[in-house]
Structure 1
Amino acid sequence: MKTDWLWLGQVTMAALVNVSFAFAVGSTFFAAWLRADARNQAAPARAAWLRAQRSLRAAAFVLVVALAMWLLYESAAISGSALPAAFGVVPTVLAQTHVGAAWIVAFTGSVVLLIAAFVDGGPLRDGVSWLAIVVVSAGHAALGHAADAGLVSAALGLHTLHVLSASVWSGIVIAGGLSVMPALGTSAARGVLIRTAGQVSSLALFAVGFVLATGLFNGVRGTGGSLAALAHSAWGHVLLLKLVLVLFAVVLGGLNRISTLPRLKRTASTADARDFANLLYLEGLLMIGVLVVAAALAHSVPGYVMIG
C-alpha cells in the first residue's frame, strides 16, 4: 500500500462516497417513515420530514460529485499520470476497464437517486429510489476487490449485499442521529419519535445481521483463511480497526435497543428521549469512522496478497 497523495485522494473520495451514500439511504427511509405524519404544515413531524428531504437531496448531490472525483483519481492511478492529465485518460478507463463499467453502473444509479430526491414523495418515488440504491450498491461493490473474482460471481453478489446492508445500518444511524431525530425532540412529537425510534432499532438489528454475515465472508476471503494476514499486513491492521469501531457501534445500538428504547416507551419522558438521541448520535459518529476506514480498506492490497 503506497500512501502517497494519489492514494490519499482516492481514499478521501471513496470515504465521501461511502458517507454520502449512507446518508442518502438513511434519509430515504426517514422521508418515507415520516411522510404520513408531515402532511399538515403544523404537524409536529413536519420539521423532521423536511430535514430528511433536505438531507436526501444534499447527500445524493454529494454522492454524484464524489463519484466523479473518484473516477478522476482512479484514472490518474491507473495511467500513472498527474491529476490534471487524467482527464484525457477517463474515456479509456470507462471504455476498456471493469472499473469503468462498474463506475458507470454506480454513477447512473446515483444520478437517478438525485433526480428522484427532487420529485414529490409517493410510492413511485420510493420505488425508483430503492431501485437506484440497489444499482449504486452493485456498482459500488464492483469497484472493490470482490470484482477480482469476476463481475458475475458469488463474491461480488455477497459484497453487493454487504454494501447495501451496511449502507442501510449506517445510513439510518447517521441520518437519524445527526439530522432527523433531533427535530422530533419536542413533547408534541414524542409519539412519532417513539414509533420512529422503534423502526430505526428494528431495521438496524435486521441490517446488522447481514453486515456481520457478509463481512465475515469478505474477511475470510481477504485473509485467504490465514490469521497471519491480520497480524502481518497493513490491510489486516486496517480491518482490525474497522472491527473495533463496528463493535463499539453495535454496543451503543444494543444499549439503545435493550435499555433506552423500552424505558422511553414506558415513560415517554424528555430525558429518555434525549438519551436515545444522544446514543444514536454517538453511534452515527462511529459509523462515519467505520465508513472512512472501509474506504481505506478497499484501497489497500488484501492481506493474503501482501503475505504471499
Structure 2
Amino acid sequence: MMNDDPLWLAQTAFAALADFAFACTLGALLLNVWLSREQAFATVSPARRGWLRAARGGSIAAISLVLCTFVSLWLQSASMSGAPIAQAGDALWLVATATHAGIGWSVALAGSVLLLAAAATAGGGATAVARIGMALLAALIVAAGKSAVGHAADAGAFSLAEAVQTLHLLATAVWGGIVVVGAFVLPALDTSVARAFLIRTVARMSRAASIAVALVVLTGAFNAWRGTGGSLAVLSASTWGHALIVKLLLVAAALVFGALNRWSALPRLSRSASTMDAHTVINVMRVEALMMAGVFVAAAVLSHSMPGSALMN
C-alpha cells in the first residue's frame, strides 16, 4: 500500500524533482558542449538559439537541483529528529554532519553547488572543455552522495552496492537528461539553415544515450536482484515491488521510442534532411522524455520504500 504520510510524500516528491533536475543539468551541459564544438555560440551561427537554450536550461536545472537537494536534506532532518518540518532547522547541522543519510545529502548538496558553477560558466571554445571536466567531477559527487542515502547504503559505506548505485544514477541521469533536454533544445535547431546541426547533434545524442542505456540495464539488473533478494514474489507484495514494475515498464517504453529514433527516424533524417523527418525525430523524443520523467518518479518511490528483500527477513 502506498504511504500517505505527508513527510514521506514530500521526501519522495523532492527526491524525484532532484533526480529530474540532475538529469536536465547533465543533459544541458552535454548538449552545450556538443553545440560549442560546432561553434554554435557564435552570434552568426544558425544553431545559436539551440546553444542558448542548452546554456540557460542547464543553469535553471542546476539551480533547481541545489534547491531540491537542500530541501531533501531539510526533510531528512525532520524525519530523523521527529521535529515538525518547519522546525527541522534546529537539528539540521547535527543531521548533516553526524548521520550517514545526512552526510550523504550534504555531499550531494556540495556536488550540486559545484555542478551549478559548471552550468553557470557557459561559454565556447576551451572553456567548454574545462567546464565539462568540472561537471563530471560534480556529477560523480552528486551521484555518490545520493547513493549513500538510498538502499545501497545498507551494504555499508564505499561498498559494491553503493558503487553500482552511483553508476546507475549517473547513467540514468545522462540518458534521461539527453532525452529531456534534447526535446527542449532540438526545436530551436529545426530550421532549414540549422538542419545539419540538428542531424549531427542527434547522432551524438544517440551514441551517448546508447552507452548510458547499456549501463542503466546492467546496473539496474544488479539493483533489482539485490532488492528482490532473488524472489520475484516480493514484486506483488509491496509498494517497492509495484514501483519497480512501473519503472521497468516505463524504461521498456522509453527504450522502444529510443530505438525507433535511432534505427528508423534518424537514418531517414540523415538521408533526406527533410522537415517532416526532423519533426518525427523531435516528436518521438518528446514521448521518450515523458517516459523518462515517469522513470524518475518511480525511482524516487523505490528509494523511499522498504525493499522487497527486507520483507522476507
TM norm structure 2: 0.96
Distance 2:142 2:64 in 1: 14
Hey, what does 2:130 align to over in structure 1? 124
Distance 2:139 2:162 in 1: 16
Hey, what does 2:65 align to over in structure 1? 63
Distance 1:155 1:184 in 2: 41
Aligned-pair CA distance for 1:124: 1.5
Hey, what does 1:111 align to over in structure 2? 113
Aligned-pair CA distance for 1:116: 2.0
Distance 1:255 1:62 in 2: 31
- Indicate yes or no: 2:47 matched with 1:45: yes
Kindly report which structure 2 residues correspond to 1:259-278, keeping only aligned pairs within 5 A, or say none.
259-278=264-283
Hey, what does 1:292 align to over in structure 2? 297
Distance 2:122 2:78 in 1: 39
Hey, what does 1:34 align to over in structure 2? 35
1:258 is matched with which residue: 260, 263, 266? 263
Contact 1:235 1:300 in 2 (8 A): yes
Distance 2:122 2:199 in 1: 26
Q: CA RMSD in A?
A: 1.1
Hey, what does 1:92 align to over in structure 2? 94
Matching residue's letter, 2:179: V
Aligned-pair CA distance for 1:120: 4.3
Distance 2:232 2:212 in 1: 27
Runs of 4+ in 1 over 3 A off after TM superposition: none
Hey, what does 1:174 align to over in structure 2? 180
TM norm structure 1: 0.97
Aligned-pair CA distance for 1:85: 1.7
Aligned-pair CA distance for 1:283: 0.5
Hey, what does 2:9 align to over in structure 1? 8
Distance 1:254 1:264 in 2: 15
1:164 is matched with which residue: 164, 170, 175? 170
Distance 2:25 2:42 in 1: 24
Deviations 1:72-103 (A, max 9, x none): 11111112221112111111111211112111
Deviations 1:232-266 (A, max 9, x none): 11210110000000000000000001110111111
Hey, what does 1:152 align to over in structure 2? 158
Aligned-pair CA distance for 1:184: 0.6
Cα 1:51–1:120 change in 2 (3 A) is closer
Kindly report which structure 2 residues correspond to 1:63-82, keeping only aligned pairs within 5 A, or say none.
63-82=65-84
Distance 2:40 2:113 in 1: 27
Give the % identical residues. Answer: 47
Distance 2:42 2:156 in 1: 50
Hey, what does 1:183 align to over in structure 2? 188
Matching residue's letter, 1:219: A
Number of aligned pairs?
307
- Alignment gaps of 5+ in structure 1: none
Distance 2:3 2:120 in 1: 40
